[in-house]
Structure 1
């Protein structure tokens, strides 16, 4: 197998997508692709994978209906196969979503490369590993790219696309166009960076939150409310950079940097990871239980989905939902 025909299929001819790994992320991808009208084959080694996957798709379908189903979209277009090879045999695009273990990723991507028809792009949902580190065992590494989604993939539009050192640049460009055609909002990264873009920003916030819980400076409920009732409202409209530019008034970012630049050296944040000892572990788990206030995980998923859809609709990011 060679990379001479990467990618081999025109975007308008894509009908069949394979999803390998059917956990929370992989299952979310399955739901997304089904909602966009594709035929989906899925494989996961867990013995109860099919039952779990179909429950996830059923739970996601009301949100997909609100987002707007593509013509022909149906949960009946899902086939769960007994082998990886069967799942990718006729695939025109492959999305891998295995657990975050580098050895497993290398082995699985090599298997997918060997089993997938020539010229078909294979994407990994990895949330942290560079493709350069994962494509080492593949015979045809040129078609391997990262397509990093956000949970749940059927609801959150963003996907970050980047190749590795041995990836064909055309595979990256093709994948970005495919994801856009499949309803995603795409960032095509110029170079690899561990954790990509959004996860690095999330990680900074997450670490500081853990420090505050560990130090008794804030509860889990306080931390979540500080975002949902504060900067999170602004970030749904524009990101932190333009938000800070507005803090400079008519002078924009230049005035903001002149005014607040010296405070960058103030010890406000502690970006080193705190020690996740039992006390911190228990505090975070108990704090989340308290913040849930009796709501089950299923309740919270439904609440999150309704809320995100409302934000997308209010900001004009759903088809036909122009913001008013």
Structure 2
């Protein structure tokens, strides 16, 4: 089936849903939006206007998106003939379970059913479905139309063929799917992000740096490094000619001792008030839309630069 004939039903018009809608339209897919919000068409069109300029190179002209976009507030009608269904409702397990039970009854038997959840496994989500074998988690990193990663998570009841189809689908949409070898709470990327966030909060709470200074530290050091290589390759190179083996036996020998120094900050009222006040001071003079455009412009520039660098490496 070609992308142009593929019908994707996107459920939900929050931040993630809007990113998916824009991305799928960019890749020429027929996108049907399911939302109970009466203002959904206006929300979606504003989201496309905000995001379309940051789609990958080679995607479609936003002027053509209207011909590919439709809205269906009735869930059963929205999924009745869909090839792919992408759920993006709030992280409420009972809400999602009830939703997938309805989807399972109304969608075609061969439809690929995907959840953007950052919390639950397919086994959690599919307990009320007669057949949960086509349900796969495809967890994106925000914003999904810019950041390539999608974590693919299967459950005990998941058909391996559905996992392969999910990988192929996200690749068609220009994403980088990674299949987790086993399900784990919060998956992989969010656990890494959470570990860094915990120490970030600790450093701010202890008065070492401010919110704005912490952001600058990350973007001007490890953020720049991690945009090009992952932590293991970074330390492998840090070991010189001896690689990771050398690094672990010298600079990395005190890792456990260093881990003991990491903070466990309480998220009490004082901590929350400090974070909010400093974030307002740092970023409160710019609108949400302006901050989003700046973020997406920079991230898109990084991705394009990396693509160009990869092309130069291949040509060398």
**1:18-69 CA distance string (max 9 Å, x none):** 00111000111111101111110011223433322221111111222x6331
1:316 counterpart SS class: helix
2:138 counterpart SS class: strand
Which residue number in structure 2 is paired with residue 281 of structure 1? 272
Alpha-carbon distance in 1 for matches of 2:63, 2:131: 32
- Give the gaps of 5 or more residues in structure 1: 1-9
1:219 to 1:25, Cα distance in 2 relative to 1, 3 A: same
Which residue number in structure 2 is paired with residue 5 of structure 1? none
Which residue number in structure 2 is paired with residue 85 of structure 1? 76
Which residue number in structure 2 is paired with residue 41 of structure 1? 32
Alpha-carbon distance in 2 for matches of 1:272, 1:142: 42
Alpha-carbon distance in 1 for matches of 2:30, 2:276: 39
- Contact map agreement 1:36 1:73 (CA 8 A) in 2: no
* Count, aligned residues: 312
- Give the gaps of 5 or more residues in structure 2: none
Offset of 1:303 from its aligned partner?
0.6
TM-score (norm: length of structure 2): 0.92
In the TM superposition, 1:78-117 aligns within 5 A as 78-117=69-108
In the TM superposition, 1:134-145 aligns within 5 A as 134-145=125-136
Q: 2:293 is matched with which residue: 293, 302, 322?
A: 302
Q: Does 1:150 align with 2:144?
A: no
Alpha-carbon distance in 2 for matches of 1:308, 1:195: 24
Offset of 1:131 from its aligned partner?
1.5
1:296 to 1:151, Cα distance in 2 relative to 1, 3 A: same
Q: Does 1:126 align with 2:117?
A: yes
Alpha-carbon distance in 1 for matches of 2:45, 2:3: 27
1:272 to 1:105, Cα distance in 2 relative to 1, 3 A: farther
Alpha-carbon distance in 1 for matches of 2:262, 2:212: 21
Offset of 1:140 from its aligned partner?
1.2
2:307 counterpart SS class: coil
Q: Does 1:252 align with 2:243?
A: yes
TM-score (norm: length of structure 1): 0.90
**1:277-308 CA distance string (max 9 Å, x none):** 22111111122122226221111111111101
Q: Does 1:161 align with 2:152?
A: yes
Bigger RCO (CA 8 Å, 6+ sep) = 1
Which residue number in structure 2 is paired with residue 6 of structure 1? none
Please, which moves more after superposition, 66-75 or 210-219? 66-75
Q: 1:67 is matched with which residue: 51, 57, 80?
A: 57
